[in-house]
């Protein structure tokens, strides 16, 4: 029997750099309420959102992602030519194909990189981190650029009071590479495709452009809320156990920024000690789907609430329904 060669594995992987892009335009709750029967107080109380950012015409998934990626490369101290793979987690790139990743790789000058998009909605960044971790340790790639980028304002129905105030735009990127000690814990992930209709976008953006029928995101908010509150705490606990850490080792908790009440419930479920910083980027960024975890991590790092080498617990969850959780060291 023929035995095939495999790449030479490396022992450890970790996050080497982080960068984000926040769109220019700030949109207040009052502005959102011009189109829906709601008010600033209700939106703050029920979701935690004070304001969010909507991308302008010249701020696309690709441009926002490219900007975030440049900052992540600088933060990691590597060049675009050193990248072996670009993974983009997004559900709002304007084409079904070609991928956003191929366009971003070209824009960056990542001439040696393979490029692909991944579709895991609001869990996309944590899914991507699990994939990148495995590819680095298996020796398939030396440096991977992982980006979560969304322009959800293009697919939100601003007359739907269940979603209009929630979703927003932005991008966050990390560089994943080999490290001297393991910096990314095992990814605990899963999918429940029986709940396809809980969050769904129809039609896809390409068809929308061709037919003039806009893509619209619809969500059964209460069902998603119940699922997240009921199951994400256990996923987080499993991610910590798999990595061999406890809540006492954490510096911060960075859940997908879906709703502050979901975050509160998870904090309670996990019984997080007071020293653990809780990401509340939703207050100023809204729910940016695949971009929300890196955006929230960046906010904590910018504010000095976490520093390089600190341990954070991350969890992403959303349309599919899918979820992924892991712990990781801050770059
Ligand atoms: O990112 C992917 C994952 N997504 C999520 O995790 C989102 C999960 N879901 C949620 O965050 C919440 O379900 C929402 C924030 C979307 C909605 O909050 P809720 O507390 O679940 O609202 P609800 O749909 O249960 O509605 C409660 C009440 C209703 O009034 P009654 O029947 O109690 O009189 C609604 O009519 O609030 C009313 N309502 C509103 N009132 C003012 C619903 N939307 C609004 C609104 N403004 N925008």
Q: What is the pLDDT of residues 108-120, one digit of tens each?
A: 999 999 999 999 9
Over range 284-304, report the average pLDDT: 98
Q: What does the pLDDT read at residue 94?
A: 87
Q: pLDDT digit string (tens) for 131-166? A: 999 999 999 999 999 999 999 999 999 999 999 999
The residue to mutate among 225, 229, 320, 321, having the most atoms of ligand 1 within 8 angstroms of its beta carbon, is 225
pLDDT, position 101: 98
Whole-number Å distance between alpha carbons of 53 and 61: 14
Residue with the smallest CA separation from ligand 1 atom 3 is 318
Q: Which fold has domain 188-329?
A: Peroxisomal Thiolase; Chain A, domain 1 (3.40.47)
Cα of 262 vs centre of ligand 1, distance in Å, is 12
CA of 218 to the centre of ligand 1 (A): 13
State the distance from the centre of ligand 1 to the C-alpha of 221, rounded, in angstroms: 6
Residue 116: count of CB within 10 angstroms of its CB: 14
Q: Catalytic residue positions?
A: 122, 256, 287
Mean pLDDT of 264-277: 98
pLDDT at 96 over 90: no
Q: pLDDT for 301-317, tens place per residue?
A: 999 999 999 999 999 99
CA atoms within 13 A on the CB side of 135: 22
Q: Which residues line ligand 1 (CB under 6 A)?
A: 36, 38, 42, 46-47, 122, 161-162, 165-166, 199, 221-222, 224-225, 228, 258-259, 262, 287, 289, 318
Query: Separation of 286 CA from ligand 1 center, angstroms?
Result: 15
Give the closest residue (by CA) to ligand 1 atom 14: 221
Question: At residue 321, does pLDDT exceed 90?
Answer: yes
Write down the residue that tokens 């692909």 correspond to: 116
Average pLDDT on 45-59 reads 98
Atom of ligand 1 nearest to the CA of 224: 8
Residue 206 has a pLDDT of 75
Cis-peptide into 203, omega within 30 deg: yes
CB 92 within 8 A of CB 150: yes
pLDDT at site 320: 95
Residue 72's pLDDT band (boundaries 50, 70, 90)?
very high
Domain 13-178 homologous superfamily, CATH = Thiolase/Chalcone synthase (3.40.47.10)
Q: What is the structure's pLDDT at 203?
A: 85
Query: How do the domains of the chain map onto residue ranges?
Result: 13-178, 188-329
Banded model confidence at residue 66, pLDDT cuts 50, 70, 90: very high
Would the pLDDT of 284 be above 80? yes
- Give 94-119 as a DSSP string: S-SSS-HHHHHHHHHT-TT-EEEEE-
Alpha helices in the chain (DSSP H): 29-32, 40-47, 61-76, 100-108, 124-137, 205-211, 221-243, 260-270, 282-285, 292-302
**Residues 198-240: tens digit of each pLDDT:** 999 988 777 887 898 888 999 999 999 999 999 999 999 999 9
Query: Which whole number is the average pLDDT over 316-327?
Result: 97
Q: Identify the pLDDT of residue 210.
A: 86
Task: From 29, 222, 282, 318, give the residue whose CB has the most ligand 1 atoms within 8 Å, as the site to mutate.
Answer: 222
Distance 42 CA to ligand 1 centre (A): 9
Q: Using DSSP, state whether 218 is helix, strand or coil.
A: strand
pTM for this predicted structure: 0.96
3-state helix, strand, coil in the chain (%, to 5): 40, 25, 35
**Nearest CA owner, ligand 1 atom 45:** 161
Query: Where residue 192 falls among pLDDT bands split at 50, 70, 90?
Result: very high
Nearest CA to ligand 1 atom 21: 222
Q: Hey, which of 34, 119, 199, 221 would you mutate to test ligand 1's pocket, going by the most ligand atoms within 8 Å of its Cβ?
A: 221
| Average pLDDT along the chain | 97
Helix (H, G, I), strand (E, B) or coil at 200: strand
């Amino acid at each position: 029997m023929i035995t095939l060669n495999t790449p030479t594995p490396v022992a450890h992987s970790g996050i080497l750099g982080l960068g984000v892009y926040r769109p220019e335009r700030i949109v207040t709750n009052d502005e959102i309420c011009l189109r829906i029967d709601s008010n600033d107080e209700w939106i703050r109380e029920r979701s935690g959102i004070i304001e969010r950012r909507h991308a302008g015409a010249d701020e696309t998934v690709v441009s926002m992602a490219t900007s975030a990626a440049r900052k992540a490369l600088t933060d990691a101290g590597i060049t675009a030519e050193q990248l072996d793979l670009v993974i983009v987690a997004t559900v709002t790139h304007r084409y079904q194909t070609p991928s956003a990743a191929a366009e971003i790789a070209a824009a960056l000058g990542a001439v040696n990189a393979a490029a692909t998009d991944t579709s895991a909605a609001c869990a996309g960044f944590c899914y991507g981190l699990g994939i990148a971790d495995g590819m680095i340790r298996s020796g398939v790639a030396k440096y991977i650029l992982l980006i979560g980028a969304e322009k959800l304002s293009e697919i939100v129905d601003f007359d739907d009071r269940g979603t209009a105030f929630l979703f927003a735009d932005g991008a966050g990127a990390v560089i994943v590479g080999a490290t001297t000690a393991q910096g990314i814990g095992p990814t605990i992930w899963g999918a429940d495709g029986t709940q396809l209709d809980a969050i769904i976008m129809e039609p896809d953006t390409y068809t929308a452009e061709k037919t003039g029928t806009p893509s619209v995101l619809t969500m059964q908010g209460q069902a998603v809320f119940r699922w997240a509150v009921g199951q994400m705490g256990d996923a987080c606990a499993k991610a910590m156990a798999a990595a061999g850490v406890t809540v006492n080792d954490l510096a911060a908790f960075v859940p997908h920024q879906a709703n502050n009440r979901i975050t509160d419930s998870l904090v309670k479920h996990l019984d997080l000690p007071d020293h653990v910083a809780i990401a509340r980027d939703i207050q100023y960024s809204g729910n940016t789907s695949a971009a929300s975890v890196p955006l929230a991590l960046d906010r904590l790092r910018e504010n000095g609430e976490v520093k390089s080498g600190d341990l954070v617990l991350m969890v992403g969850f959303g349309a599919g329904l899918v979820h992924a959780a892991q712990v990781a060291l801050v770059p």
